[in-house]
Structure 1
């Protein structure tokens, strides 16, 4: 069985194109906006920094 069939990825479109199309869709834009709002919150930034620090130590 092909790897693409196992992963559920269609063979006709490269993954970068699929991601680009999703980000341009209404739901992709909604998620992008939500991510920007979350990233603007100083508490979330500090939380992310702490997680990155812990991850890098391993």
Structure 2
């Protein structure tokens, strides 16, 4: 399990990971995307 965590940390530090993090932060700041995520999580929780 520690290997998986280290690989995630390594990806997060890479330029590609930094782009993914920035994209996720922009999406999280958008009210429409937040609503979409909320409805998706609600659907997943009902199962």
Q: TM-score, normalized by length of structure 2? A: 0.88
Could you list the runs of 5+ residues in structure 1 that have no partner in the other structure?
1-12
Deviation of 1:55 after TM superposition, in Å, equals 1.1
Deviation of 1:32 after TM superposition, in Å, equals 0.3
Residue 17 of structure 1: aligned partner: 6
1:54 aligns with 2:43: yes
Deviation of 1:57 after TM superposition, in Å, equals 1.1
Deviation of 1:23 after TM superposition, in Å, equals 0.3
Matched residue SS, 1:46: helix
Larger radius of gyration: 1
CA distance in 1, matches of 2:44, 2:7: 29
Q: TM-score, normalized by length of structure 1? A: 0.73
Residue 10 of structure 1: aligned partner: none
Deviation beyond 2 Å, 4+ runs, structure 1: none
